[in-house]
Amino acid sequence: MTPPGSVGADTDNPYALAHLDALESEAMHIFREVAGEFERPVILFSGGKDSIVMLHLALKAFTPAPVPLALLHVDTGHNFPEVIDYRDQVAQRHGLRLHVASVQEFIDRGELRERPDGPRNPLQTVPLLDAIEKNRFDAVFGGGRRDEEKARAKERVFSLRDEFGGWDPRRQRPEPWQLYNGRHSPGEHVRVFPLSNWTELDVWQYIEREEIDLPAIYYAHEREVFSGSGMWLTPGQWGGPREGERTERRLVRYRTVGDMSCTGAVDSQAATISQVIEEIAASRLTERGATRADEKVSEAAMEDRKREGYF
């Protein structure tokens, strides 16, 4: 079987755009709509590949002028050091204002409690909403894609959040054509998802085409890991390995980048972008299924978190 990655190499129609151009153009349209309609937009930037592609698209959308957007990172305190370095370099290189909302600070102040089972991903919601409110951000770009998860498949490109940051899937605004309705009352904000129609493979093909730098953990590397929740986790102060679990050195890479306590690595030999693309095209697991321990909890885990204001 030809991998789907080979799609689009040939098109007979001279008027048609190749699919990456089409997706890119759509994302540009979304960025410019936000720039035209909102006062204080911000990009959620985690240093993960989706947010990196999002920033790359934003830079292109407003060229030759600088990007009229700030960056916001919700730091769980358990981030990969390579990713934090990357984040700081990018902000500096493009002269962007970087806001950091720290989960650790909230825990230290007693406003959040560590979960007994470890993962800090669900704890990000409170610092995120706090940062949005304090900085009066009215449009918040997220790198969420509809192919990631069932609840996300139902999300609009412009998704209204109430003053508590909540998402009500039953009261979403219809979004026909490309007419995005970003009207909101004071205190409310709109989450914007320019990568809605991209798949994991699209993101990687775009990274290859645009020669975008990524943190090294996206490529195969040797790492001390232990098996937990059915995936390879990096040992650390967040509670691993437990007794009876042994660490071992393996050749792995990360398909997603999140909180180290619940983001798993996959066995991989893919050291280059094209090898990664080959590997994804052949994979029998979804990106989140392979790498996220916290979403195996329940069928509606993502919907519930989104309702509370998660990404």
Partner 1 sequence: MTSAYNLPHLTVGALMRHIVAETAARLSERATGHGTATATGRAPGPAAGAAPGHEPGPPSGGAPGHTPGGPSSDPPDRDRARPRRQPVKGHPTPMATTTAPHQTPAGDTEPRRPERAAAHVPGAIGADLLRWATAGSVDDGKSTLVGRLLYDAKAVLADQLKAVERTSHDRGQHAPDLVLLTDGLRAEREQGITIDVAYRYFATPRRRFILADTPGHVQYTRNMVTGASTAELAVVLVDARNGVVEQTRRHAAVAALLRVPHIVLAVNKMDLVDYAEPVFTAIAREFTAHAGSLGVWEVTAIPISALVGDGVVTASARMPWCTGPTLLDHLERVDVGGEPAARPARFPVQCVIRHDGARHYGGQLTAEVLRVGDRVTVLPSGRTTTISSIDLLGRAVGAARAAQSVTLRLADELDVARGDLIAPAHAGPVATRDVEAAVCHLHDRPLRPGEQVLLRHTTRTVRAVVREVYGTAELGPNDIGRIVLRTAEPIAADAYEDARETGSFLLIDPADGATRTAGMVGGAPWCPCCCRHWCWPGAGTAPANRRRGCRARSSRRWAGSCPPTR
What residues make contact with partner 1 under the rule CB under 8 A?
A: 1-2, 4, 6-8, 11-19, 21-26, 28-29, 32-33, 35-36, 60-65, 146-147, 149-154, 160, 169-170, 172-179, 181, 183-185, 196-197, 199, 201, 283-286, 289-290, 299-300, 303-304
Residue with tokens 């409310």: 188
| Beta carbon of residue 116, minimum distance to partner 1 (angstroms, whole number) | 24
Q: What angle do CA 68, 27, 255 make, to 5 degrees?
A: 100
Q: Please, what is the minimum distance in Å from the beta carbon of residue 85 to partner 1?
A: 27
In the chain, beta strands by DSSP E = 41-44, 70-75, 98-102, 139-141, 158-161, 189-192, 221-228, 231-233, 247-254, 265-267
Query: In whole angstroms, how close is the CB of 151 to partner 1 at the nearest point?
Result: 5
Q: Which is nearer to partner 1, 155 or 259 (CB)?
A: 155
Instruction: In angstroms, give the least distance from the CB of 158 to partner 1.
Output: 10
Kindly tell me which of 80 and 193 has the beta carbon lying closer to partner 1.
193
Least Å from the CB of residue 283 to partner 1: 7
Q: Determine how β-strand 231-233 pairs with β-strand 221-228.
A: antiparallel
Q: Are 70 and 97 in contact (CB under 8 A)?
A: yes
Tell me the sheet residues that pair with 190: 139, 160
Q: For partner 1, give the closer residue by CB, 109 or 170.
A: 170
Rg of the Cα atoms in the chain = 19
User: Is 196:144 a contact under the CB 8 Å cutoff?
Assistant: yes
Q: Which is nearer to partner 1, 173 or 221 (CB)?
A: 173
Shortest spacing between CB 277 and partner 1, in angstroms = 13
Residue 80 in contact with residue 218, Cβ under 8 Å? Answer: no
Residue 27 or 103 with smaller CB distance to partner 1: 27
Distances (CA, A) of 12 to 2, 9, 18: 19, 10, 11
For residues 110 and 176, which CB has a smaller minimum distance to partner 1 in the complex?
Answer: 176
Pairing of strands 41-44, 139-141: parallel
Q: How far is the CB of 244 from partner 1 (least distance, A)?
A: 26
Coil, helix or strand for 225? Answer: strand
3-state SS, residue 152:
helix
Q: Report, in Å, the least distance between residue 94 CB and partner 1.
A: 14
Question: How far, in Å, CA of 169 to CA of 155, rounded?
Answer: 8
Token pair listed for 295? 């979403």
Cβ closer to partner 1: 130 or 188? 188
Nearest by Cα to 140 from 130, 152, 132 = 132
Closer to partner 1 at the Cβ: 75 or 147?
A: 147
